[in-house]
Structure formats: C-alpha cells, structure tokens
Amino acid sequence: MENDFTAVLKQLHLKVTPKRQAILAILMNESAYLSPEEIWQRMKKQFGRIGLPTVYRNLEELSERNIISKVTHPNRQLYYYFCTNRSHHHHFVCLSCRNVEDINFCALNELQKEVKRKLNGEIISHILQVNGYCRNCLNKKG
C-alpha cells in the first residue's frame, strides 16, 4: 500500500513524506469523506503533537494536485475524499452516511454547446458534485 502512495506522490513531483503517506492511508481506508479535524485526530495517534494547520496545509497541497478530492457540504464544512479513479468523472455524495460514489457521466459537451450558443463563451473547467442520499440510507428510512 505504502509503495502505491510513494509512486503517486513521486509521479506528481511531491516529496514523499510520512505525513502525506499517512493522510492518503487514512483516506484510502475510508469509503466516506472525512473532515480535516477527523484526519487530524487519527494522525495524532501516529505523530503525537502534530498541529491542525499542518494537516490543513498537507490536505490543501494534495487536493491542489488532484490526488484527493474536496467535498463541499451544505453544512459548509469542508471534507476530503481519496478516489483512485484517475479518469474524468464526478461524485455522488451521501449527505447522511458520507459515502461517496463515482458517476461516470459528464454532460460537458452539452454544456459547452449551451455556453457557446447562449453566451458565446467557452468553458475551460468545471466542477460537479451531486449531493443526495445513497440507496442504503434510503432503505433505512423505509
């Protein structure tokens, strides 16, 4: 497992540090998104007196390079998620159990046409996160 992270970090010209490896390991072992505070709590077990700003900085660096994904929650809390799928896709985020699932669907072509036709503009990037309740949570509600 650790070798995988090392390869990913090296490929992106990020220095391989124990903290970055720990963050990726924590997020990889979770199918749900975690808050920086939760990641910090888990890292304290391994690193002792690590500061929360250090965790924030490392998370920001990893997400800037698209190694981990940001989840923006309606509760305005920021969460992070590690997805191994490297091809272009979007995420379905469960607001209840925090499960994250891949959606291999993207309407970028249609959006591109619409922006061109209506606004005469051009899209250079886009973010799409779909929030909802997953099937497990819907079943529990009955």
- The single residue among 16, 103, 106, 130 that binds Zn ion, judged by CB under 5 A, is 106
Q: How far is the CB of 63 from Zn ion (least distance, A)?
A: 13
CA dist 26 and 129 (Å) reads 22
Among positive and negative, which fits the CA dihedral 3, 7, 13, 19? negative
Q: Please give the distance of CA 66 from its chain centroid, rounded to a whole number.
A: 8
Stretch that binds Zn ion, among 4-12, 35-43, 82-90, 109-117 (CB under 5 A): 82-90
Q: Is 134 in the site for Zn ion (CB under 5 A)?
A: yes
Task: Specify the stretch interacting with Zn ion by CB under 5 A; choose among 5-13, 24-32, 40-48, 105-113.
Answer: 105-113
Q: Which is nearer to Zn ion, 43 or 90 (CB)?
A: 90
Task: Give the span between the Cα atoms of 50 and 38, in whole angstroms.
Answer: 13
Reduce the DSSP state of residue 82 to 3 states and report it: coil
Q: Are 103 and 89 in contact (CB under 8 A)?
A: yes
Least distance from Zn ion to the Cβ atom of residue 46, Å: 26
Of 60, 83, 112, 129, which lies in the binding site for Zn ion, with binding defined by CB under 5 A? 83
Distance between CA atoms of residues 116 and 84, nearest Å = 33
Under rule CB under 5 A, residue 50 binds Zn ion: no
Q: Which residues bind Zn ion (CB under 5 A)?
A: 83, 85, 94, 96-97, 99, 102, 106, 108, 134, 137
